[in-house]
């Protein structure tokens, strides 16, 4: 278990109008965790989030950051806000400057960095969110998803340890939401702690490490998603709906099917459940292979040739730069979200797949597939992409 | 909406990459020449050249460009009608003395002056259009910074500029909501609705201001705004074109002296 980065001890907060928004909340968040804060409108989610970077000061109780009590003098707040980045729900309200560059540069400039450092920070942040080349664009000409990315880049440019996002997927189309959630995954993988508030149970359920259910200024339940969302009563009273996978699992259980006690997080888990129930068709060939292409490191010149020699390979892209690469080189993507799981599903059908991914996510593919292997006993080979000549005799599948 | 259309064109036009200062010098120089010219010829000359530059070099759609002139020209016609009738002069073509102590007349001098003013307006609009269609506002902010305008003023301008679009969006939404519920169907109602619209816009902007402070606070605002100093160097050919445009126009101003229409 990694150490605690944020902690609240019995905090209470009453709005100037007299309504009590937070009624005694205690919780802690560990480093590198992905936390989903869910609850109905008016549950106090936004107020609670604003306490995390000192925008709202609790009336009683104590907030701790890195095991130190949060101080509310301007100098300490500056340090806190540099380390806890906050992305508002409405990007229009967050984007201040008349060009994308100036907006992303806003934080680093105010932190007192010199111009070269600012430029580097902006370039890095825009690259991260996939908005290179947008520097000169005025924000009002961007789409909702792009604005959201600018807002996130503006916070990333300050290189915070913790990212707090209020309703990051509200107002976005489904594929835009998936992209944002994927981006958050990528950032988490690079070591950032991520806290979001959302109503979208289906997105939060497979994504979060831990879920906090809130209602009327109190914490209703706080646990791993399977448990937090698995309790029908608390989910109902938080005005949410049960994730469809859990509902399916529950119905199967109620009908007396011998499904495993462990609740499914993904389609893959459900398929595993079902395949245990149903007799597998005999004579199925072995699992297909997953080829991992690192768009940051691998030699991509031979990729088109490789693809044309294997016409039926389904391709997925993980991470912003991988998707950009696919778009630039005209690769038609079959999966853009939940890519590893979808590739495992294909592999179980005996089909070969390929994952385009950014350097930082390569290890994740091996990890996920191996975890699946140890859990289910089905061994799926994962190969790194190597150029055409020596691909045939390559047979690596990572440690298992 | 007009303001977004202008911004769109300014972002994408064919002269976007030309050095901002050169464009500013050309535009402001043209306005000054229009104003000091004693004859109607130089403003017309400038209007034709800048119009050609906007249509052929910046590749702005001709219809869009023409539409931009409609509104200012309507104002110009009204004031020119006043000038022609009231100015007076010695060589009278037509006059009317209906009311004791109040006479209107059309004279040679009044027609000449009216036409001169009209041409100056035309030249001025084309210079302003040239600037606003070829140079995005954000480039102009950069130029201001180079001209040593205080940072506080520029920061304020940038925030205002950014907020205009957000406020405008909200005003349009409120307006649509009113129109959909027949808010402007009768005269009395349209006055009432407009008052409500103004009130709502005021409250919305107040809210947006609060949020702005919060957003800036959350990102450690300490009085600094990043500059985006990506200035493109002035190419010799472009410098030559601008200098010769201004020289030629100045020459026309001098040669035409105070030539009048009639």
Distance from CA of A321 to the nearest CA of B (A): 25
Q: Pick from A93, A95, A107: which is nearest to B220 by CB?
A: A107
CB < 8 Å from A in window 25-44 of B: none
Mean of the pLDDT values across residues A335-347? 85
Q: Is the model's pLDDT at A390 over the cut of 60?
A: no
Q: Is the model's pLDDT at A359 over the cut of 50?
A: yes
Q: Is the model's pLDDT at A2 over the cut of 80?
A: no
Same domain for B12 and B94: yes
Q: Is the model's pLDDT at B34 over the cut of 50?
A: yes
A71 pLDDT band (50/70/90 cuts)?
A: very high
Mean of the pLDDT values across residues B240-261? 90
A54 reaches B (C-beta below 8 A)? no
Evaluate whether residue B144 is within a structural domain. Answer: no
B17 reaches A (C-beta below 8 A)? no
The set of residues, in sequence order, having a beta carbon less than 8 Å from that of A253 and lying 6+ positions away, is: A259
- Comparing CA positions, the residue from A321, A316, A387 lying closest to residue A347 is A316
Mean of the pLDDT values across residues B14-26? 88
Query: What is the pLDDT at residue A395?
Result: 45
Same domain for B207 and B247: no
Query: What is the pLDDT at residue B169?
Result: 84
Distance from CA of A70 to the nearest CA of B (A): 15
Q: Is the model's pLDDT at A8 over the cut of 60?
A: yes
Q: Pick from A96, A136, A154: which is nearest to B159 by CB?
A: A96
The set of residues, in sequence order, having a beta carbon less than 8 Å from that of A340 and lying 6+ positions away, is: A316, A318, A355, A364, A365, A368, A369
Q: Is the model's pLDDT at A36 over the cut of 90?
A: yes
Q: Is the model's pLDDT at B167 over the cut of 70?
A: yes
Mean of the pLDDT values across residues A83-88? 92
Mean of the pLDDT values across residues B136-147? 86
Query: What is the pLDDT at residue A385?
Result: 82
Range of the domain at B191: 149-218
Query: What is the pLDDT at residue B42?
Result: 92
Q: Pick from A78, A136, A138: which is nearest to B7 by CB?
A: A138
Same domain for B127 and B155: no
- In tens, the pLDDT along A190-208 reads 899 999 998 888 888 889 9
Same domain for B114 and B75: yes
CB pair distance less than 8 Å for B11 and A94:
no
Interface test with A, best of B13, B169, B215, B230 (most A CBs within 10 A): B215
Q: What separation in angstroms does the CA of A6 have from each of A75, A85, A155, A218, B178?
A: 19, 13, 18, 18, 46
CB pair distance less than 8 Å for B226 and A105:
yes
Q: Is the model's pLDDT at A380 over the cut of 50?
A: yes
- In tens, the pLDDT along A310-334 reads 777 888 888 888 888 888 888 888 8
In chain A, what residues touch B231 (CB-CB under 8 Å)?
A: none
Give the total number of structural domains in chain B: 2
Instruction: Count how many pairs of residues, chain A against chain B, have C-beta atoms within 8 Å.
Output: 102
Distance from CA of B5 to the nearest CA of A (A): 11
Distance from CA of B161 to the nearest CA of A (A): 7
Query: What is the pLDDT at residue A360?
Result: 79
Query: What is the pLDDT at residue A1?
Result: 58
A135 reaches B (C-beta below 8 A)? yes
Q: Is the model's pLDDT at A272 over the cut of 50?
A: yes
Q: Are A370 and A279 in contact (CB under 8 A)?
A: no
Evaluate whether residue B181 is within a structural domain. Answer: yes
Evaluate whether residue B126 is within a structural domain. Answer: yes
In chain A, what residues touch B217 (CB-CB under 8 Å)?
A: 55, 81
A88 reaches B (C-beta below 8 A)? yes
Query: What is the pLDDT at residue A388?
Result: 53
The whole-angstrom separation of Cα B59 and Cα B62 is 8
Same domain for B52 and B109: yes
- In tens, the pLDDT along B60-74 reads 888 989 988 998 999
Mean of the pLDDT values across residues A257-275? 80
Distance from CA of A82 to the nearest CA of B (A): 7
B136 reaches A (C-beta below 8 A)? yes
- In tens, the pLDDT along A126-138 reads 988 888 888 888 8
- In tens, the pLDDT along A108-122 reads 988 888 888 999 999
A70 pLDDT band (50/70/90 cuts)?
A: very high
CB pair distance less than 8 Å for B228 and A105:
yes
Evaluate whether residue B182 is within a structural domain. Answer: yes
CB pair distance less than 8 Å for A110 and B228:
no
Q: DSSP class of residue B262?
A: -
Evaluate whether residue B189 is within a structural domain. Answer: yes
A46 reaches B (C-beta below 8 A)? no
Q: Are B10 and B133 in contact (CB under 8 A)?
A: yes
Mean of the pLDDT values across residues A139-154? 90
B141 reaches A (C-beta below 8 A)? yes
Evaluate whether residue B224 is within a structural domain. Answer: no
Same domain for B104 and B50: yes
Distance from CA of B72 to the nearest CA of A (A): 26
Max CA distance (Å), chain A: 73
Q: Is the model's pLDDT at A398 over the cut of 50?
A: no
The whole-angstrom separation of Cα A203 and Cα A343 is 19
Distance from CA of B102 to the nearest CA of A (A): 53
A399 pLDDT band (50/70/90 cuts)?
A: very low
A4-241 — its CATH code?
3.40.50.300
Query: What is the pLDDT at residue A350?
Result: 82
Evaluate whether residue B68 is within a structural domain. Answer: yes
In chain A, what residues touch B208 (CB-CB under 8 Å)?
A: 93
Q: What separation in angstroms does the CA of B82 have from each of A5, A106, A254, B77, B97?
A: 74, 51, 88, 9, 16
SS3 B93: strand
Distance from CA of B81 to the nearest CA of A (A): 40
Query: What is the pLDDT at residue B259?
Result: 83
Query: What is the pLDDT at residue A281?
Result: 58
Interface test with B, best of A51, A84, A98, A156 (most B CBs within 10 A): A98
Same domain for B53 and B27: yes
Mean of the pLDDT values across residues B90-119? 86
Evaluate whether the domain defined by A290-390 bears CATH number 3.40.1010: yes
- Poorest-pLDDT segment among A110-119, A365-374, A379-388, B127-136: A379-388
Evaluate whether residue B164 is within a structural domain. Answer: yes
A400 pLDDT band (50/70/90 cuts)?
A: very low
B93 reaches A (C-beta below 8 A)? no
Query: What is the pLDDT at residue A393?
Result: 44
The whole-angstrom separation of Cα A302 and Cα A387 is 6
Q: Is the model's pLDDT at A306 over the cut of 50?
A: yes
Tokens of B214: 């919060």
Q: Pick from B165, B215, B218: which is nearest to A140 by CB?
A: B165
Same domain for B85 and B12: yes
Same domain for B160 and B92: no
- In tens, the pLDDT along B193-220 reads 999 999 999 998 888 888 888 888 888 8
Interface test with B, best of A81, A84, A138, A171 (most B CBs within 10 A): A138
Mean of the pLDDT values across residues A220-227? 88
CB pair distance less than 8 Å for A97 and B162:
yes
- Poorest-pLDDT segment among A33-37, A180-184, B44-48, B165-169: B165-169
Q: Percentage of residues in chain A with pLDDT exceeding 90?
A: 26
Could you give the residue range(s) of every CATH 3.40.50.300 domain in chain A?
4-241
A47 reaches B (C-beta below 8 A)? no
Mean of the pLDDT values across residues A27-34? 93
Q: Is the model's pLDDT at A183 over the cut of 50?
A: yes
Could you give the residue range(s) of every CATH 3.40.1010 domain in chain A?
290-390
């Amino acid at each position: 278990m990694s150490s605690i980065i944020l902690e609240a001890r019995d905090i209470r907060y009453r709005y100037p109008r007299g309504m009590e928004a937070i009624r005694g909340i205690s919780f802690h968040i560990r480093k590198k965790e992905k936390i989903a804060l869910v609850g109905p409108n008016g549950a106090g989610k936004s107020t609670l989030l604003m306490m995390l970077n000192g925008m709202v000061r609790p009336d009683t109780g104590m907030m701790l950051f890195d095991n130190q009590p949060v101080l509310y003098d301007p100098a300490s707040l500056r340090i806190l806000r540099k380390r806890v980045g906050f992305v508002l729900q409405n990007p229009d309200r967050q984007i201040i400057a008349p060009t994308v560059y100036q907006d992303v540069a806003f934080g680093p400039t105010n932190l007192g960095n010199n111009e070269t450092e600012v430029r580097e920070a902006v370039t890095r942040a825009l690259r991260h969110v996939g908005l290179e080349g947008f520097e000169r664009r005025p924000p009002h000409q961007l789409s909702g998803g792009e604005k959201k990315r600018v807002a996130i880049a503006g916070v990333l440019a300050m290189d915070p340890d913790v990212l707090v996002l209020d309703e990051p997927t509200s107002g976005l189309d489904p594929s835009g939401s998936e992209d944002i959630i994927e981006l958050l995954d990528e950032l988490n993988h690079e070591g950032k702690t991520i806290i979001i508030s959302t109503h979208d149970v289906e997105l939060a359920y497979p994504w979060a490490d831990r879920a906090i259910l809130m209602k009327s200024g109190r914490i209703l339940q706080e646990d791993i998603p399977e448990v937090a969302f698995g309790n029908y009563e608390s989910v109902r009273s938080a005005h949410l709906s049960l994730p469809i996978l859990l509902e399916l699992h529950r119905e199967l259980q109620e009908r007396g099917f011998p499904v495993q006690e462990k609740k499914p997080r993904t389609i893959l888990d459900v398929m595993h459940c079902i395949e245990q129930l149903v007799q597998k068709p005999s004579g199925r060939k072995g699992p297909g292979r997953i080829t991992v292409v690192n768009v940051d490191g691998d030699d991509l010149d031979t990729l088109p040739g490789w693809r044309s020699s294997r016409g039926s390979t389904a391709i997925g892209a993980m991470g912003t730069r991988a998707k950009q690469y696919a778009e630039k080189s005209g690769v038609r993507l079959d999966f853009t979200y939940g890519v590893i799981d979808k590739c495992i599903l294909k592999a179980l059908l005996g089909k070969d797949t390929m994952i385009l991914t950014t350097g930082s996510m390569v290890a994740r593919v091996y990890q996920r597939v191996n975890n699946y292997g140890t859990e289910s006993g089905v061994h799926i080979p994962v190969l790194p992409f190597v150029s055409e000549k020596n691909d045939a005799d390559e047979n690596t599948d990572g440690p298992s | 909406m007009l303001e977004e259309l202008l911004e769109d064109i300014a972002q994408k036009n064919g002269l976007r990459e030309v050095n901002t200062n050169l464009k500013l010098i050309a535009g402001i120089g043209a306005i000054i020449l229009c104003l000091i010219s004693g004859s109607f010829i130089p403003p017309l000359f400038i209007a034709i050249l800048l119009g050609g530059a906007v249509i052929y070099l910046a590749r702005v759609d001709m219809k869009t460009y023409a539409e931009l002139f409609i509104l200012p020209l309507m104002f110009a016609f009204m004031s020119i009608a006043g000038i022609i009738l009231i100015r007076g002069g010695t060589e009278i073509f037509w006059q009317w003395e209906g009311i004791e102590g109040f006479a209107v007349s059309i004279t040679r001098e009044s027609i000449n002056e009216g036409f001169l003013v009209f041409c100056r307006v035309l030249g001025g609009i084309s210079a302003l259009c040239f600037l606003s269609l070829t140079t995005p506002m954000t480039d102009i902010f950069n130029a201001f910074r180079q001209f040593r305008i205080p940072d506080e003023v520029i920061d304020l301008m940038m925030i205002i500029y950014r907020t205009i679009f957000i406020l405008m969006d909200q005003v349009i939404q409120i307006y649509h909501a009113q129109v959909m519920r027949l808010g402007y169907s009768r005269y009395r109602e349209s006055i009432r609705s407009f008052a409500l619209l103004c009130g709502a816009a005021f409250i919305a902007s107040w809210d947006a201001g609060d949020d702005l402070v919060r957003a800036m606070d959350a990102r450690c605002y300490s009085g600094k705004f990043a500059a985006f100093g990506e200035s493109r160097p002035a190419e010799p050919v472009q410098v030559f074109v601008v200098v010769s445009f201004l020289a030629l126009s100045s020459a026309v101003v001098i040669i035409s002296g105070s030539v009048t229409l009639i």
